Amino acid sequence: MIRFRLGTRGSPLALTQAAMVRAALCAAHGWHDEEVATVIIRTTGDRVQDRALAEIGGKALWTKELDRALLDGEIDAAVHSMKDVETVRPAAIRIAATLPRADVRDRLIGAASVEALPRNARVGTSSPRRRAQLLRLRPDLTITLFRGNVETRLAKLAAGEVDATLLAAAGLARLGRDEVGHAIPTDVMLPAPAQGAVGVEVRAADEVAHAAVGAIDDPATHACIVAERALLAALRADCHSPVGALASLAGETLSLRAELLAEDGEAHVTGSVEGTQGRLCGATLAAELLDRAPPVVRRLFAA
């Protein structure tokens, strides 16, 4: 008997994350593996491999089809890498759980550190944040567009298309590739908001699914993700914006750090805030950063 249907993208990373959610649900409710169905949903982002995602312009590249399947009742919940989830979600959908967060850092593959990259090295990434952060530290680098799932990128690197690339430690670890590359400390490069967090969304009106999924929520991770996403929302930014952000929780106190950059890293602004309320921390820090941002940075963002 199928008790619960989990929707996911079909990439190896997405399937691994869906399996983690399934295992957590089974452990929490005493269900058997075969009682949780994994429904693979193909998304626009999976089909478009050759252009920068930011260039396509459309948002919701990874979530639109999962949202539709969820709202149509084809699935009971959708599993996401939270960093790919749009800043503003439909009112009929809500985040019911985040799994305990993995290593939040990026890993550099191809050199031991950003400083150790050879002069004028070519680094492949399609992330505007990683591009801006790298160019800020190393204006001599050539950043080239790099797409595809984790294994594709590692293959392109091995084939010599670029000298180095950056990938999230969390994704590498989930694919059993944790030994690849070198972790970049978060004080050198702040990760993307919500990097390393797997989230599960349900229909806002589905109390049964909400309760079932809520049982696997990690409240500390959830609080941090709320703060980081609130910052993005206040900036009217999304996962294609040159923004790094990282929250941590000590007791009741949230600490949120963030960085906004110009596209080519020629200017940036960083700051931090502490508080007990994630949404307020995010909004406060966003306003404070916008206030201090150089014009070339400010014009990329909101308000």
Ligand X SMILES: NCc1[nH]cc(CCC(=O)O)c1CC(=O)O
Give contact residues for ligand X (rule: CB under 6 A).
81, 83-84, 167-168, 170-171, 195-197
Q: Is the dihedral of CA 188, 238, 13, 117 positive or negative?
A: negative
Supply the minimum distance, in Å, between the C-beta of residue 104 and ligand X: 8
Active site residue 72: no
Supply the minimum distance, in Å, between the C-beta of residue 269 and ligand X: 23
- Toward ligand X, which CB reaches closer, 79 or 121? 79
Number of Cβ atoms within 10 Å of the Cβ of 278: 22
Q: Is the dihedral of CA 58, 195, 185, 164 positive or negative?
A: negative
- Toward ligand X, which CB reaches closer, 157 or 197? 197
- Toward ligand X, which CB reaches closer, 43 or 195? 195
Closest residue to ligand X, Cβ-based?
A: 171
- Toward ligand X, which CB reaches closer, 170 or 285? 170
Catalytic residue among 67, 76, 84, 106: 84
- Toward ligand X, which CB reaches closer, 9 or 210? 9
Supply the minimum distance, in Å, between the C-beta of residue 91 and ligand X: 24
Distances (CA, A) of 188 to 32, 105, 140, 263: 43, 10, 17, 17
Supply the minimum distance, in Å, between the C-beta of residue 1 and ligand X: 31
Supply the minimum distance, in Å, between the C-beta of residue 272 and ligand X: 21
What whole-number distance in Å separates Cα of residue 86 and Cα of residue 231? Answer: 13
What whole-number distance in Å separates Cα of residue 88 and Cα of residue 194? Answer: 14
What are the tokens at 82? 């939270």
Residues noted as catalytic? 84
